[in-house]
Structure 1
Amino acid sequence: MEKTSDWRGKLAIPCIPQRFVLAIMGFFAITNAFTMRLCLSVAIVSMVGNRVGNSSNSSAQVDLDPNSCPYPPVIEGEKIIPGEFDWDSETVGLILGSFYWGYIFTHLPGGILSEKWGGKYLLSIGILSTAFLTLISPYAARLGPGWFIAIRVLMGMGEGTTFPALNSLLAQWIPVEERGFWGTLVFSGGHVGTIVGNALSGVLVEAWGWESAFYFFGSCAIVWFIIFTLICFSRPDDHPFISDKELEFLHERLGDTVTKDLPPIPWKSIITSVPLWGLVAAQVGHDWGFFTLITDLPLYMSDVLHFKIGKNGLMTSIPYILMWIVALSSGYFADWLLKKKYVSVVNVRKIFTTIASFFPAVGLLAASYAGCNETAVMIIFTVFVGLMGTLIPGMKVNALDLSPNYAGILMAIINGLGSLTGIATPYVIGVIAKDHTALQWRTVFWIVFGVMNVTNLIYVLTASGEVQPWNWGENRRPVEVDEKDGQRDEPESYCNTRL
């Protein structure tokens, strides 16, 4: 068969399934979103006060908290400075949480529009707008905290469409037996974004100042936008260089659950769905712990362990390296369990979600009792927090199980309500840990422990792995499944590109 004459066909990578290309670009979308969101968490340590070199020596800093670790010795040529901005802990908490004020408002509109028009442009324009706002963040910070907060709110609005749009794309492109791995790969972009955002921000800040982190990550997101808009499409039928074999395969695997022309959204059935609210509870619990880590762990490392900015960025990124590895391996394992029919879909989701809730909560508490042994603290953080990666093949892809047709809307509701914790946690921590003491931080981690375990219990009692009756509208449409030995065969070749 002749190749398409469409100029975009020249961009096709021979023999690589386009659904995998979409998933990989989705992974980089979330990676970029998180680096732009989180570089502030490291940069703000320097913005409000950090010890830097190339100046005259000064006396060692005095720590009034007997439970905190001693400061490292002041080396020659280093001095203690207050930082460029004189912001107290509550102001810092407001700034860190302000991103989520905007984030929650665009989730539901993003979900509705992604189902109606497809997720491609909703995702790409959201990332592009966030990139521009990231680039002007240093200027806004110098105008004052109010301006900086306003920019962070707008950034949140730009990124609020990310997860609903991606969920809509995955529902259109990824069959159920591949969602464990490829869904995990996409959503694990948050882990990689956290790793890169924390580690590289510390290096950039030490080398070129706190502004450099915003300039670098904003520029990377613009590069992603250009590539994504050229090679990815909302639906398989819209793709100009997808192979006939892959298109046929996706029609077979998704044709009975994904409808292009949907009836009116069954809002009543969605809002009254018990499994949906179980997912909301699980998301709230996870986000309470995760947002505590990604927004405030650098502050904990500075307040209690007294890490300097470069070491702080590196150390806070280490747990997410294991989290990413755990996410990918557990996603593959979840798919294997489902393909072998050893465990039902709902039990796979429950088991992996419970692991991601209980053990990280225990790890945070244990680290707060580990004293000043840096090695012990980092091992505990890394091992236990790393297990949070099992959440993705657990509850994170569960919305795709419940309703492929309305996956974007479900993700908007789940992630949108969960993101309320992104507003609450930085402010709560700013109030509780206002004196920056180890005991105050321990109280913070006890709260995390309680929230994560209570919400997980709610999820376990209410979860479902079945496609819900309202997936096709208010009136149930029976699902016709044509399977061979429980699985449809993979296409023999993806190299036959359609005209």
Structure 2
Amino acid sequence: MMATMTELSPTAGKTKYSQDTRVDESLVPKKVLSFRSTRYGIAFIAHFCNFILTAQYAAINISMVAMVNGTSHQSQFNGSTESLPLDALGGSNDAPNSLPAEAPVYDWSPQIQGIIFGSVNYGMMLTTAPSGYLAGRIGTKRVVGVSLVVSSLLVIFTPLAADLGLAFLIATRIVQGLAQGSIFGGQHALWERWGPPCERSRLCTLALSGMMLGTFTIILLGGIISQTLGWPFVFYIFGGIGFVYCLLWFVLLYDDPVSHPWISVTEREYIVSSLAQQVSPHKQPLPFKAMLRSLPLYAICLCSFSHQWLITILIVYMPTYISSVFNINIRDNGFLSAFPFIISWVTGILGGQLADFLLTKNFRLVTVRKIATFLGNFPSSVLLVALSYLTPDYVTTMTLLVVSCGLTPFCQSGIYINALDIAPRHSSFLMGASREFGYTAAILAPTISGFLLSQGPEFGWRNVFLLLFAINLSGLIFYLLFGDAVVQDWAKDRKLTRL
């Protein structure tokens, strides 16, 4: 008796949707593809989970404008003293005088702020990949639900941690990152069981677009809350919302269509049959050696790093940048900083629809992934570089920020779901691993940017944006050269047979 390894891989019946999937569309009635479908309901549940995750993650970004000692370190550059015309959004432009007296204020330099911004990512990069793997074994409901409870508790604790000292605040942010990394990484396992190949772009981008809605909401409402109630209430309110949502999560979320009690038989059969060629009925070990030799996987990781650098600068520093350009209060800053992200929310959802539409028009899957990735990277970084060379004025600054931020979510239909294409059986781990690699950029970007900004605001911002462009372009070029969308040999199903 001896053991041999035989590969099970589809060799016929490939559809226009993917080179590697086999979907019988005759199983899909038109009504099943509507937004009333259970799988779209799962995407909406994940959408609001990501909304809360990002709101808690970014709460400190807008609050920092009120937490520091008047942002004196961010004096205006290029001689600009422009404010909003006629104070269009209302209220005094004297930000420090309009803040509640009881809100504590700290004397933190740009370098310290950069460390605080980036500290949450130390935790996130440790748990994103392992939580994806764990969720694939024990289920997304438990991994994400428990992590959301922990994250919400730590968000509520943040104002007290700041009062206890800088070390306590940074430690709290790191532990919060451990929980938030598990939320983000754990949800990837959903699409191994809920995402038909021809609908993955729509479902995944619908879920991920909640991150942009969360960013929009926290920056908009965070400014209003900080000015009216005090910045600690930003953390109390959004931490409390997270606790309430946990109850809905445990009631409404199911790990797969087979265990869902309300799904129709037709939809269940469609999902299961569409994934039959990609999801193994038995657990398999991760082929680490083959993964480490995979250029398409490296391409995803490096491009995720470069895009995460772009996203981090936009999310973390947009309120700070606008504060340095315009003499406005924190409430108005919140409105201006938030507006680009509501555009991102819309384009993120539309980007997924566009990607799946292109697939129906016989575009190759790899071509669609690369087009989406290019649109989400290159134009945004170019516009930010251009912004640093222009004399800041209200219309130009906001136009460039809106367009730059609005294009970034196209990557949700590109690199961020590409692991589902090249290794569907290991995608929950690989999507988490690529994001984990990207989070190193979320650590480095604020830290390095804080150092650059301490050298002077005008050239500091220019250097921040030039460095962003160089990193973004490098990752994009590598992905365009080596990215792929074919199931890799090491990711195909293997079973042990005996002769």
How would you bin the TM-score normalised by the shorter chain? 0.7 to 0.9
> How much does 1:370 deviate?
2.7
Matched, 1:156 2:177: yes
Q: How far did 1:475 drift?
A: 7.0
- Show CA shifts across 1:315-348 (max 9, x none): 111111222221211211110111231x100000
Counterpart of 1:404, as a letter, is P
Which residue is 2:3 aligned to? none
Moved more, 86-95 or 148-157: 86-95
Shift, 1:384, TM fit: 2.6
Aligned partners of 2:406 and 2:73: how far apart in 1?
Answer: 34
Out of 331, 348, 357, which is 2:368 matched to? 348
- Answer whether contact 1:167 1:400 (CA < 8 A) is retained: no
2:428 maps to which of 400, 404, 408: 408
C-alpha distance in 2 between matches for 1:203 and 1:213:
9
Distance 1:476 1:170, change over 3 A: farther
Deviates more, 1:302-311 or 1:164-173: 302-311
1:241-295 CA distance string (max 9 Å, x none): 3221111111111111112421222222222221111000110111011001111
Matches within 5 A, 1:435-474: 435-472=455-492
Counterpart Cα distance in 1 of 2:98 and 2:346: 38
1:227 is matched with which residue? 248
Partner of 2:314 in structure 1?
Answer: 293
| Closer/same/farther in 2, CA of residues 85 and 330 from structure 1, 3 Å limit | same
Which of 370, 375, 382 does residue 402 from structure 2 map onto? 382
Alignment of 1:365 with 2:385, yes or no, is: yes
Residue pair 1:201, 1:213 contacting (<8 A) in 2 also: yes
Whether contact under 8 Å (1:163, 1:411) holds in the other structure is no
Which residue does the alignment assign to 1:24? 44
Residue 90 (structure 2) pairs with residue 69 (structure 1): no
- Aligned Cα RMSD in Å? 2.4
* Match status 1:269 vs 2:290: yes
Deviates more, 1:129-138 or 1:252-261: 252-261
Matched residue, 1:284? 305
Residues 68 and 437 of structure 1 are in contact (CA less than 8 Å); yes or no, is this contact kept in structure 2?
A: no
Do the aligned residues in 2 keep the contact of 1:191 with 1:324 (CA within 8 Å)?
Answer: yes
User: Contact conserved, 1:262 with 1:472, CA < 8 A, in 2?
Assistant: no
Question: Which residue of 144, 157, 163 corresponds with 2:165?
Answer: 144
Paired position in structure 2 for 1:9: none
Q: 1:231 to 1:95 in 2, by over 3 A?
A: same
Question: What's 2:202 paired with?
Answer: 181
* CA positional deviation for 1:236: 1.6
C-alpha change, 1:367 and 1:107, in structure 2 (3 Å) is same
In structure 1, C-alpha distance between the alignment counterparts of 2:120 and 2:73, rounded to whole Å: 33
Q: In 1, distance between residues paired with 2:361 and 2:252?
A: 34
Report what 1:200 is aligned to. 221
CA distance in 1, matches of 2:496, 2:366: 21
Residue 154 (structure 1) shift: 0.6
Quote how far apart the aligned CAs of 1:372 are: 2.6
Structure 2 CA distance, aligned partners of 1:242 and 1:447? 49
1:424 aligns with 2:439: no
Q: What amino acid maps onto 2:52 in structure 1?
A: N
Structure 1 contact 304–436 (Cα < 8 Å) conserved = no
- For normalisation by structure 2, the TM-score amounts to 0.86
Measure, in 2, the Cα distance between the counterparts of 1:320 and 1:125.
Answer: 28
Please report how far the alpha carbon of residue 70 of structure 1 lies from its aligned counterpart in structure 2 after TM superposition: 2.0
Q: CA deviation at 1:76?
A: 8.9
1:324 aligned residue: 345
In 1, are the aligned partners of 2:74 and 2:324 still within 8 Å (CA)? no
1:45–1:175 CA distance, 2 compared to 1 (3 A): same
- Greater CA deviation, 69-78 or 292-301? 69-78
Runs of 5+ in structure 2 lacking a partner?
Answer: 1-33
Structure 1 distance, partners of 2:338, 2:358, is 30
Letter in 2 for 1:67: N
In structure 2, the CA distance between the partners of 1:262 and 1:145, relative to structure 1 (3 Å rule), is same
* In structure 2, distance between residues paired with 1:102 and 1:62: 28
Aligned residues: 454
Q: For the Cα contact (< 8 Å) 2:98–2:227, is it kept in 1?
A: no
- The answer to which of 301-310 and 352-361 deviates more is 301-310
Q: What SS does structure 1 have at the residue aligned with 2:126?
A: coil
Distance between the aligned counterparts of 1:465 and 1:365, measured in 2? 31
User: Given the alignment of the two structures, is residue 37 of structure 1 paired with residue 57 of structure 2, yes or no?
Assistant: yes
Between the aligned partners of 1:262 and 1:474, the Cα distance in structure 2 is 10
Select 2:135's aligned residue among 101, 111, 114. Answer: 114
- Give the direction of change, closer, same or farther, for the CA distance of 1:77–1:64 in structure 2 (3 Å limit): closer
Distance 1:291 1:75 in 2: 27
Pick which of 20-29 and 394-403 moved more: 394-403
Secondary structure of 1:105's counterpart equals helix
SS at 1:69's partner residue?
coil
Matching of residues 299-314 of structure 1 within 5 Å: 299-314=320-335
User: What letter is aligned with 1:446?
Assistant: L
Tell me if the contact between 1:120 and 1:169 (Cα under 8 Å) persists in the aligned partners. no
In structure 2, C-alpha distance between the alignment counterparts of 1:76 and 1:428, rounded to whole Å: 30
* Deviation for aligned residue 1:116: 1.4
Identity of aligned residues (%): 28
The CA deviation at 1:130 is: 0.5
Q: One-letter code of the match for 1:48? A: V
Quote the offset at 1:364 in angstroms. 0.7
Question: Normalised by the size of structure 1, how large is the TM-score?
Answer: 0.86
Aligned residue type for 1:261: H
Distance in structure 1 (CA, Å) of the matches to 2:295 and 2:390? 40
